[in-house]
Structure 1
């Protein structure tokens, strides 16, 4: 795609909606171009609300010199996705709606934005003591495997597991949303920039120098307020 000739994001989004969803009730442009974080490979995230659509869908399209991800909902289906995002503690659709720039609105967008903002401000469901113990045990298990391993290939996979377990534990135990991919760092920064730096440094140090110490110290630090590593006495009953 020729980035020099293509339309600006808002203009491209308006043309897209007019071409593909001319009868929709509402449309939003979301994602990195709205947040001012766009890169040369950024696409356009467009959310469509069209009450004539029977089933929600997501589609990837290249048009107007842009890669476009379109998320299509009717005026009730989005609620299921809001609820699912809340339960998994990753508010992808609520965030897109909340931050989205209005491309078209026939009187439906403000109420949907209000719902999204309420979810975001409420935060995810609080972890119970039982869930925290469960997570402590599996972090401990992964850490012990990491400490004892002498196989570099296996260590890399265990370290990858620990990156996800740690970010989830820190964020969820503090009542925060979690993320995946680049959103791991964004959610951690939203929570605590200093911790994020420590987290990155611990794993960067291991990957560069094969030094496990900072990761071990990081895990012990985050588990300490909840009783430290957990093995002895842990029990998991079958349903």
Structure 2
């Protein structure tokens, strides 16, 4: 993320400008993002749908694709629900581990080890922590 690079980076040129950016953006970065209730509900809806598909999937390729999406969407929901910045690619599990190493490990272990039922159960636990499943009657 650009803001993090500005805050944590070392100025090669323009040290004064760099310091000004740091002072301007540090408070907003440290405060973390906010997630609106409608956005959180939509994210829970997406996870609910993916989780149902994952539990029903029998083809290995489908399971792997759905598992990757579930991990990504669930990790993002955990972070955003706790005013933490998300990341892309390798930075998403790093951000989650920085926030809560135990939850990060609990989410990743069954995924990495191919324990599909345990992974689905972990997603359900995190979904419940965020407010529960969203299905019938949901409108965006």
Give me the whole-angstrom Cα distance separating, in 2, the residues matched to 1:132 and 1:106. 39
Match of 2:49 among 141, 160, 169: 141
Q: Deviations over 1:81-127 (max 9, x none)?
A: xxxxxxxxxxx111111111232336322111212312211211x21
**Which structure's CA Rg is the greater one?**
1
Within-5 A mapping of 1:14-163? 92-105=1-14, 107-124=16-33, 126-163=34-71
User: How many correspondences in the alignment?
Assistant: 140
Q: Is the 8 A contact 1:95 1:120 kept in 2?
A: yes
For the pair 1:212 / 2:120, whether they are aligned, the reply is no
Within-5 A mapping of 1:184-195? 184-195=92-103
Q: Output the TM-score relative to the length of structure 1.
A: 0.55
> For residue 136 of structure 2, what is the aligned residue in structure 1?
232
The root-mean-square deviation of aligned C-alpha atoms, in Å, is 1.5
Q: In proportion to residue count, which structure has more strand?
A: 1
Q: Is the 8 A contact 1:146 1:155 kept in 2?
A: yes
Q: Which runs of 5+ in 1 are unaligned?
A: 1-91
Give me the whole-angstrom Cα distance separating, in 2, the residues matched to 1:218 and 1:197. 11
Q: Output the TM-score relative to the length of structure 2.
A: 0.91
Please state how far the C-alpha of 1:231 moved relative to its aligned partner: 1.1
